[in-house]
């Protein structure tokens, strides 16, 4: 019950932040003109932007599958996409994206993937994302510091600081068995929340699986080629994600600035807000976007641009990933009911 209340609270805060953001963006504005500009966007570029977001999810699925395979775990491409979308949804509705990885661990466990290996897989994936986020942002700020006012400079420093702190913790987690146990404990609490039967036995089994963690960690640390592949795929993933802003720019009939310029500026936006402890960085992302891209989009189009851009790279996929979570949960309950019926039939016999 406590877990459900917490989930409901997070979702309520998330919804309120969205409403507040839209209110701030649209107040004192000609809403008809804003939505008219959005409606007039060139559809071909919108499709390209959505395709980039789909590829972003697929890249994460590839990294998850690649690492699980290296750890001798079996997982289908379809399931890897499911894990990526589940992580996207729970990261979106929880502060500082704290709910994404634990829920991915939970669903991987349901698919008979070792908790030790799923934990390590997600730690590696998240570490790779942090490295690319920080690296792209630091390169971008060298060439685009003039786009940052004093408030944005502070936000950028705070954002980079938070991301560096997260990266440090992640590296320690990969090197330390003790810290990885924390994520496993969270996964156990989630299973208790969903009232999984025979939780004590499952908890004992999960704790035993931690013994595999150190061996798996050593394997990954010694497999540099795998790490390079993960980093390379993550770099492509974030270039695709950042390029969505460029396709949004093109959809509004603009062409003055290059794709490299806009990708670099989006890297600044993402690094500045990704560490902010707000569900989905809602509100902060939109505000940073308007400030940083004010020199790129005409003043009459900037509000339309932020609505269109965030609609594609965030809100649309929150809806899609929510549908995936609901379907997965329904399938899980159906499977549990089937297993319960089979167990009851055996007892009757």
Comparing C-alpha atoms, which of 238, 285, 268, 264 is closest to residue 52? 238
Would you state the pLDDT for residue 151? 77
Would you state the pLDDT for residue 205? 66
Query: What are the domain boundaries of the chain?
Result: 2-12+37-336
Would you state the pLDDT for residue 85? 94
* Cα 344 to Cα 349: distance, rounded to the nearest angstrom: 9
Work out whether the CA dihedral 65, 68, 74, 79 comes out positive or negative.
negative
Give me 136's structure tokens: 């792209």
**pLDDT digit string, tens, across residues 71-122:** 889 999 999 999 999 999 888 887 767 778 888 998 898 888 988 888 888 8
The reported pTM is: 0.81
Would you state the pLDDT for residue 216? 60
- DSSP letter string over 270-331? HHHHTTSSSGGGTTHHHHHHHHHGGGTS-TTTHHHHHHHHHIIIIIHHHHHHHHHHHHHHHH
Q: What parts of the chain have a pLDDT lower than 50?
A: none
């Amino acid at each position: 019950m406590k877990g459900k209340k917490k989930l409901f609270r997070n979702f309520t805060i998330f919804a309120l932040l969205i409403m507040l953001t839209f209110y701030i963006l649209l107040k004192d504005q000609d809403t008809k003109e804003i939505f008219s500009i959005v409606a007039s966007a060139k559809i071909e570029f919108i499709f390209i932007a959505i395709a980039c977001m789909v590829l972003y999810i697929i890249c994460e699925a590839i990294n998850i599958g690649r690492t699980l395979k290296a750890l001798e775990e079996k997982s289908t491409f379809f399931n890897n996409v499911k894990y990526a979308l589940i992580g996207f949804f729970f990261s979106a509705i929880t502060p500082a994206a704290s709910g994404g990885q634990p829920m991915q661990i939970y669903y991987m466990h349901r698919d008979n993937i070792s908790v030790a290996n799923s934990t390590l897989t997600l730690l590696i994936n998240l570490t790779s994302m942090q490295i690319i986020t920080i690296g792209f942002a630091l390169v971008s700020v060298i060439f685009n510091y003039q786009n940052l006012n004093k408030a944005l400079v502070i936000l950028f420093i705070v954002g980079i600081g938070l991301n560096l702190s997260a990266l440090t913790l992640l590296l320690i987690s990969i090197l330390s068995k003790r810290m990885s146990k924390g994520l496993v404990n969270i996964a156990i609490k989630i299973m208790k929340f969903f009232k999984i039967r025979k939780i004590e036995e499952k908890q004992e089994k999960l704790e035993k699986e931690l013994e595999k963690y150190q061996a798996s960690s050593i394997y990954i640390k010694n497999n540099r080629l795998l790490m390079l592949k993960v980093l390379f795929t993550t770099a492509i993933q974030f270039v695709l994600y950042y390029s969505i802003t460029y396709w949004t720019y093109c959809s509004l009939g603009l062409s003055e600035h290059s794709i490299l310029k806009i990708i670099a500026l989006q890297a600044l936006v993402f690094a500045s807000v990704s560490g902010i402890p707000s569900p989905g960085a809602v509100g902060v992302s939109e505000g940073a976007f308007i400030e940083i891209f004010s020199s790129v989009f005409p003043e009459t189009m900037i509000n339309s641009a932020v609505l269109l851009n965030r609609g594609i790279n965030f809100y649309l996929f929150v809806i899609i990933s929510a549908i995936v979570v609901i379907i997965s949960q329904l399938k899980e309950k159906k499977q549990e009911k089937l297993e319960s019926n089979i167990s009851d039939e055996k007892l009757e016999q």
